[in-house]
Structure 1
Amino acid sequence: MRSDLKGKVAFVTGAAGGIGRGIVSRLAANGASIVVADINGEGARDVAASLPDALAVTVDIRDPVSVDRAVALTMETYGRLDILVNNAGVNTLAHRVDVDAFPVEEWHRIVGIDLDGLFLMSRRALEPMLAAGEGGRVINIASVVGLAAMRLQSPFVAAKAGIIHLTRSMALELGAKGVLVNAIAPGSIMTEATKALFYGAEGKFQAKTQAFMEHIPLGRPGTPEEIAEAVLFLAAPESSYINGQILAVDGGWTAGYMM
């Protein structure tokens, strides 16, 4: 789709990764100025250099000081913040085990980034958005595992389920203030992380890939560009009556069981 985002500033976390790159490219192609935010500062700068109007910021969303610095730099540069895309997130490759064996420190790492970091980033980014009084958009990247749990990744499942209800809670609180809050729940998306799990020649669970694909009606993983298109839809002026919704972009994964 095409939309007019000229004059809007979009702050995207995790923007140096595969899905993040797709999101910032799509928003920029529709006229938005982009804040490319990532803990990987070099990656953020590389992505920003490929866009027509972008600012790279290094941010650790677990750290309120780092978050505050990133939003302050955004305001110094652009004077506004209209769209927040909470895309940053992690899972684990090394610890795919039952909950009773899951390392406590790994639980805290994943939940600290995926859920706590999203809260800290939203809380700070909402300050200029609400102060401007012109409305805004918050788009949270959740996961289908927040809708239908999977085994061996309990903190990731818990964090993504938390994002889904946090999205709804935020929508109830912020809608009357003109800020629309929605989430996208991606299914299996072709990124470097999923290649390491399923789709690469050395994928940890490569032997299970066929069975996995048989559960998805479309029979394939999605692409970062398909997630980016959904983000653009929720960021666009045309979606002005959509609030508190969870959009599954999953090829039909959560529609039911393929028998």
Structure 2
Amino acid sequence: MKVNLQDQVALVTGAAQGIGKSIAESLAANGARVVLTDVDFATVTETAAGHDGCLARQLDVTNPEQIAEVIAATVDKLGRLDIVVNNAGVNTMAHRVTIDEFPREEWDRLLNVDLNGLFAVSQAAARVMRGQGSGKIINIASVAGLVPLRLQCAFVAAKAGVINLTKAMAIELGQYGILVNGIAPGSIMTQGTRQLFYGEDGSFRDSVQQLLAHIPLARPGTTEEIAHAALFLAAPESSYITGHILTVDGGWTAGYTRDF
């Protein structure tokens, strides 16, 4: 997929691996100057070095001071901020329990990264974009924010929050020329899911067929397929789309898949 992002400046959080890395590389391949950010500074530095005009910055989205520094440095170095992709996020595999047993500290950790961090980055970016009179914010949510999954109360709550926050931001910021949209990925083949579901010692190796049975396309998605969705929302051609959640899940949430 090719679009023209020449002279556009983009910032991607959680860009060290998986979906974030694929999005950052896709934006760069289409002409954008991309600032790749992550808590894993070494890895984003290596990725950024492979793309002309791209920069790497260490960023913990739960640190407001660091967010302000990275946004300011981006504008100072590259002159503007056109696209922000809020991808940084965490989940937990150690606490797949019902809400009455879910640890409060894990609830706080997930909400702080997945929702509060996204809010803080969006707030800082929106201030810059409002001054420019233009910009695009793309939030990575999840199908878990649309259709709750059991034993994941914190992740579900955070991603549901992301979905409605995305729509609220679109309503508020449209008058300033800022478009805000989200992407809700389904089961995506990242390093983590490959190990958990397909690795020899994966915790959910025995559940793969059950998972795939709920996906009409009968396979997990790729990080590149999420990157294509982000590229579409970042492209000039999506200029009349805001407040939309683009679901990329192989049909998982379309309805109840069953064999009778």
TM tier relative to shorter chain: over 0.9
- TM-score, normalised to structure 1, is 0.98
Deviation for aligned residue 1:91: 0.3
Corresponding residue for 2:122?
122
Q: Which residue type is aligned with residue 75 of structure 2?
A: M
Q: Distance in 1 between matches of 2:144 and 2:202?
A: 20
Q: Which amino acid aligns with 1:15?
A: A
Cα offset, 1:75, TM superposition: 1.3
Tell me which amino acid in the other structure corresponds to 1:88.
A
Letter in 1 for 2:85: V
Contact (CA 8 Å) 1:14, 1:37: kept in 2 or not? yes
1:163 equivalent in structure 2: 162
Aligned to 2:89: 89
After superposition, give the CA deviation of every residue in 1:9-63 in whole Å (9 maximum; x if it has no partner). 0000000021111101111111000000111111110111111211100011101
Paired residue for 2:231? 232
CA distance, structure 1, for counterparts of residue 255 and residue 184 of structure 2: 15
Q: Which residue pairs with 1:10 in the alignment?
A: 10
Contact kept? 1:214, 1:258, Cα under 8 Å: yes
* Distance in 2 (alpha carbons) for counterparts of 1:149 and 1:200: 26
Letter in 2 for 1:108: D
How far is 1:200 from its partner?
A: 1.9
* 8 Å CA contact 1:93, 1:197 repeated in 2: no
Alignment of 1:185-204 (within 5 A): 185-204=184-203
Structure 1 ranges of 4+ moved more than 6 A = none
* Displacement of 1:194: 1.1
Answer yes or no: is the 8 Å Cα contact 1:99–1:152 preserved in 2. Answer: yes
Letter in 2 for 1:73: A
Task: Quote the offset at 1:96 in angstroms.
Answer: 1.0
How many residue pairs were aligned?
Answer: 258
Q: Which amino acid in 1 is paired with 2:60? A: D
Aligned to 1:21: 21
Using the TM superposition, give the Cα deviation of residue 196 of structure 1 relative to its aligned residue in structure 2, in angstroms: 3.3
Query: Which amino acid in structure 2 is aligned with residue 57 of structure 1?
Result: R
| Residue identity in the other structure for 1:29 | A
- Distance in 1, matches of 2:51 and 2:97, equals 40
3-state SS of paired residue (2:22): helix
Residue 120 of structure 1 and its aligned partner are, at CA, apart by 0.4
Match of 1:182 in 2: 181
Question: CA offsets per residue over residues 43-87 of structure 1, 9 Å max, x none?
Answer: 110111111211100011101001011111111210100000000
**What does residue 205 of structure 1 align with?**
204
SS at match of 2:96: coil
- Greater displacement, 161-170 / 122-131: 122-131
* C-alpha RMSD over aligned residues: 0.8
CA distance in structure 2 between the partners assigned to 1:212 and 1:70 by the alignment: 39
Deviation of the 1:197 alpha carbon: 2.5
Could you tell me the percent identity over the aligned residues? 56
